[in-house]
Amino acid sequence: MAKKTPLQQVKDLHGGKEKLVDKLAGMVELDGESKDDFKERLLAAPNSKLLRLHSIATEIRERFGDKAKLVDSLLGLQNKSKDVDYRDKLLTLSPTQLLSEHHAAERRAAKAAR
């Protein structure tokens, strides 16, 4: 069976692009942008990017709860939990960058544990 296109995945999993955008608007931090502007911008984005954003936001919510807890977990893996300036810097990064850093830190910690 052939792999489904991003449009087919959006329709099957979320019932359409508008519904996926509504879900994302409630899951993602807006950083000073109005919700309507954010939705308008997301409606113009490709379906593949929307699916990726949804998977990242879902993983962060399920594993950590929010961005601050993700940063705290990352600091714990890096043994820098008392470094306040570094924590503030990490909070300025996007959730995607933070999640990528966390995955890399997990791999390094697992490799060091062997």
pLDDT over threshold 90, residue 4:
yes
What is the model's pLDDT at position 113? 85
DSSP 3-state of 114: coil
Q: 């990352």: which residue's tokens?
A: 74
Higher pLDDT, 2 or 48: 48
CA atoms of 9 and 15, how far apart (whole Å): 9
Whether residue 106 contacts residue 77, with contact meaning beta carbons closer than 8 Å, is answered with: yes
The CB-side HSE value for 9 (13 A sphere, CA atoms) comes to 14
Alpha helices in 64-94 (DSSP H): 67-77, 84-92
Instruction: Record the pTM.
Output: 0.84
**Cα→Cα distances 33→7, 8, 41, 49, Å:** 27, 29, 10, 19
Q: What's the chain's Rg over C-alpha atoms?
A: 17
pLDDT tens string 15-31: 999 999 999 998 887 77
Identify the DSSP state of 34.
-
